[in-house]
Amino acid sequence: MHEGISTRASFASPPCCRRHVVAITACWMLLASAEGCGNAESEPPAPTANEVVVYTALDREFSEALLDDFTGETGVEALPKFDTESTKSVGLAEAISREAARPRADVYWNNEILNTLRLARAGLLEPYVPTRGAEFPQQYRSPDGLWHGFAARARVLIVNTDLVPDEEFPDSIHDLTDPKWAGRAAMAKPLFGTTATHAACLFAQWGDERAKDFFRAAKANGVQIMSGNKRVAQSVAGGTAAFGLTDTDDAMVEIEKGMPVAIVYPDQQPRGDDEALGTLFIPNTLAIIRGGPNPQAARRLVDWLLTPEIEGRLAAGPSAQIPLHPDATAKPRVETPATVRAMSVDFERAAESWESARTFIRDEFAG
């Protein structure tokens, strides 16, 4: 097995829970943001005191069963709003921003961190200290209680093993710019989700000019731009691309379907004169919306999710998330910051960098 590639563990996904679909009462407010955010689902009715509205960027198939179980255990009805694969974290964050005068959501469950930090900087999140929040590592939680990180994923390379011999596997994000791979690599459009977070971290780590050079070089090398990370993983599994940059959850879905793919944790070794960059790990984040209709129910949901038990379920489930709580006993099916070199990241600085980098990224990848 190539160094840095996960084993192909066998895993049977549990049956998906199907929740009662909330009746449609009105169309959502226009979701087209300056960055071209996409289609919204329908608006749930105004929640009662025994309901909590959750704007959820984590894929429906990974989060819905947990929200169903929260309702079953507590009697508080969790009403999720999901968004599209390509724009979900941005689309939901933009909705929260537009609704600031009359918030409709109680909790924002983001599958990354960048847009959570942007909402915090805009003053749209409510401070809260969860029951077990302080037990999570300091770098994955807000010092003032505005957001709480848990259940991380890694940014990895997924490689088609039928197309690429083991000894030729790419091992760095810089391979996206290598002429050897011209037209044969893929990544999601770097305006949304974890790909935008990754871009922001690179701008913070390298500075504007070097980061711009990297993205220009990737574009010039014919990198295939996909609608989302899931699409990248599916494209590599299907042989449309030889390798791609994606997240561990999407890569693991393809591995456990038996597709001819493997995972490489990138940038574990020095590259030229540079030190090893390391693999980027991005947590899910939870935040309570300032002025949301049901703050009590919101706190109850955040407390319920921020536990080692829930992280264990996310680790064991099809998304193969990485527990961050020190008491979590679930054995991850992917590598973790304890087993591979992790990229050193200041997420607050990355969010600051994104404000200036966003225009460049949008213009460079406008097509």
Domain of 183, CATH number, reads: 3.40.190.10
- DSSP code per residue over 164-203: S-GGG---SGGGGG-GGGTTTEEEE-TTSHHHHHHHHHHH
The pLDDT, as a whole number, for residue 273 is 74
pLDDT digits (tens, 9 = 90+) for 237-255: 999 999 999 999 999 999 9
Nearest to 233 by CA among 243, 219, 222: 243
pLDDT at residue number 356:
83
Q: Is the pLDDT of residue 44 over 90?
A: no
CA atoms of 67 and 41, how far apart (whole Å): 18
Q: Is residue 185 part of a domain?
A: yes
C-alpha distances in angstroms, 231 versus 114, 240, 243, 328?
21, 11, 12, 31
Predicted TM-score (pTM) of the model is 0.83
Place 79 in a pLDDT band, splitting at 50, 70 and 90: very high
| pLDDT average, residue stretch 188-217 | 95
To the nearest 10°, report the CA torsion of 106, 111, 114, 120: 20
Domain extent for 215: 154-280+355-364
pLDDT of residue 70: 97
Number of H helices, E strands in the chain: 10, 10
Q: Is residue 309 part of a domain?
A: no
57 assigned to some structural domain: no
Sorting pLDDT into bands at 50, 70 and 90, what band is 26? very low
Task: Provide the pLDDT for residue 83.
Answer: 78
Q: Give the model's pLDDT for residue 38.
A: 41
Residue 122 domain flag = no
CB 17 within 8 A of CB 68: yes
Total domains in the chain come to 1
pLDDT in tens, 204-242: 999 999 999 999 999 999 999 999 999 999 999 999 999
Average pLDDT over residues 348-354: 93
